[in-house]
Amino acid sequence: MISAAVTADGRGSSIPEPEYLELLTAVTAWVEGPGEEWAGIIESSGSVPDALWKELRGAGFLSLAAPAELGGRGLSFVQWMGLMEVFSRSHASVRMIVHVVNGTWRAMNPYADADQRRKFVLPSVAGDLIVAFTLTEPGNGTGADITASVQRTGDTYYLTGRKHLITFGVRCDYWLLFARLAGSTGSRGTVALLVDRHAPGVEVEDTSETMGVRGTDHASLTFTRTPVPVANRLGAEGDGLAVALGGFLTPSRISVAMSCVGLAQRAQQLAVRYALDRTTFGKPLAARQAVAFALAENAADIEAARALALHAAQAWQDGTANAGSLSSMAKLTAVDMLTRVTDKALQVHGGVGYWKSMPMERVYRDARAQRFEEGTNEIQKTVIARGILGRAQAPSADAGLVPESAAPAVRP
């Protein structure tokens, strides 16, 4: 039996270095082998086959980050970021699956009671239950101004409202959905609910036709007095935004930052290979100073962003006060880096890089999605600025830790 005292976020977990290096080798081999084959299938079909989910689950890739007490592999967060870096060199939908499934449990577990842990958290960690994080709404931001509302009658909430840009919102088994008590304002009236994908009174619109990250399904949802058992509420009434943002957003932003690093590495890898293979006027492109300098700038850019992402990961793992600010710094820096690197990598390819027959074309499209996942650059700057100004105004206070509920999270 899993007790309520189990480690909530897994920060105390780790595996021995030899075991980790063996796992890193296995993940790298999968990404460079079967992962590349799956990338072609996803791009040609426009969807992620059920067989890929089954393969990822069977390989244990969907339960890497959770502690062993929850059925996970028990990696430390820094170790997990090392694997996210590698997964992110694969197709963006592969990265999205392992990122989301290995992270959603962090939002649920600290607030789950024993029954909810058995029903939702453990199956989610095992990859047997897909839980879609359902916060974003079409008519407002994604923080304390959410408008989807519930009215309680006895042991049932009745949910009314809209959500959109919900990753895995079509495929999922449950929506981890955030709403407010009817008539309430601010964060104190918010609730976190696990809503059955097949509950009555729900209209699901598939909105998966995106520029990049092909294959990952997204949904627009409309709820009309959809019944949700009160037993499916995580935490107490008023804990909704704490569930959504408190223990989830900071590590997720760091994970997106490391995803940018991995995808940039893939772009650089493709550019270097092309520069060495392509000959013009009797010389390989790599012999041209302009091309060599672009590759050198990319390499420095990638290493700098990687170092900051790992620094933020270590800070969150250690529970330091400025982890929230550092997560936004890492995400902001890595996103801007990815934009520069993929632009130069495409330029090295010349016109041929613009054709869908080239892997670089997909990498370039996929990179754009990172600019709004877990908050736009403008949101990250807001979080960072609050930390800076807070420390200046109250130098003795823990101003480096910006309350994560102070800034919204935008999920694709």
Q: Which domains does the chain have, with CATH numbers?
A: 17-129 (1.10.540.10), 132-238 (2.40.110.10), 248-406 (1.20.140.10)
Task: Write down the pLDDT at residue 5.
Answer: 39
Task: Write down the pLDDT at residue 4.
Answer: 40
Q: What percent of the chain has pLDDT over 90?
A: 84
Q: How confident is the model at residue 247 (pLDDT cuts 50, 70, 90)?
A: confident
Q: Which residues of 72-107 are buried (b: 16+ CB within 10 A; e: fewer)?
A: bbbbbbbbbbbbbbbbbbbbbbbbbbbbbbbbbbbb
Q: How confident is the model at residue 1 (pLDDT cuts 50, 70, 90)?
A: very low
Task: Write down the pLDDT at residue 10.
Answer: 77
Q: How confident is the model at residue 11 (pLDDT cuts 50, 70, 90)?
A: confident
Report the greatest alpha carbon distance in the chain. 80
Which of the 8 DSSP states describes residue 134? E
Q: What percent of the chain has pLDDT over 70?
A: 93
pLDDT of 398 higher than 80: no
pLDDT of 348 higher than 70: yes
**DSSP structure string for 29-81:** HHHHTHHHHHHHHHHHHSB--HHHHHHHHHTTTTSSSS-GGGTS----HHHHH
Contact by Cβ (8 Å): 227, 201: yes
Contact by Cβ (8 Å): 158, 227: yes
Q: Which residues of 151-162 are buried (b: 16+ CB within 10 A; e: fewer)?
A: eeeeeebbbbbe
pLDDT of 169 higher than 80: yes
pTM for the structure as a whole:
0.91
Contact by Cβ (8 Å): 197, 134: no
How many degrees, rounded to 5, is the angle at CA 251 between CA 248 and CA 255?
125
Task: Write down the pLDDT at residue 8.
Answer: 76
Distance, CA of 272 to chain centre = 28
Contact by Cβ (8 Å): 320, 327: no
Q: What is the mean pLDDT of the chain?
A: 92
Task: Write down the pLDDT at residue 143.
Answer: 76
pLDDT of 202 higher than 90: yes
Task: Write down the pLDDT at residue 13.
Answer: 86
Q: How confident is the model at residue 408 (pLDDT cuts 50, 70, 90)?
A: very low
Task: Write down the pLDDT at residue 395.
Answer: 57
Tell me the pLDDT tens digit for each residue of 219-238: 999 999 999 999 999 999 99
pLDDT of 3 higher than 70: no
User: What is the C-alpha to C-alpha distance for residues 158 and 368, in angstroms, rounded to an integer?
Assistant: 37
pLDDT of 405 higher than 50: no
Contact by Cβ (8 Å): 144, 135: no
pLDDT of 211 higher than 50: yes
Lowest mean pLDDT among 183-192, 239-248, 387-396: 387-396
- Mean pLDDT of the 367-382 span: 92
Task: Write down the pLDDT at residue 166.
Answer: 95
Task: Write down the pLDDT at residue 327.
Answer: 96
Q: How confident is the model at residue 142 (pLDDT cuts 50, 70, 90)?
A: low
Q: Which of 97, 94, 21, 104 is nearest to 66 (CA)?
A: 104
Task: Write down the pLDDT at residue 116.
Answer: 98
Catalytic residue IDs: 374
Tell me the pLDDT tens digit for each residue of 28-50: 999 999 999 999 999 999 999 99
How many degrees, rounded to 5, is the angle at CA 316 between CA 248 and CA 10?
65
Tell me the pLDDT tens digit for each residue of 281-296: 999 999 999 999 999 9
* Rounded CA Rg of the chain: 21
- Mean pLDDT of the 234-246 span: 92
Residue 336 tokens read as 């801007």
Q: Which residues does 30 contact at the CB level (< 8 Å), separation at least 6?
A: 59, 61
Task: Write down the pLDDT at residue 180.
Answer: 96
On the 0-12 / 13-18 / 19+ scale of CB atoms within 10 A, 351 is exposed
Task: Write down the pLDDT at residue 144.
Answer: 80
Tell me the pLDDT tens digit for each residue of 62-121: 999 999 999 999 999 999 999 999 999 999 999 999 999 999 999 999 999 999 999 999
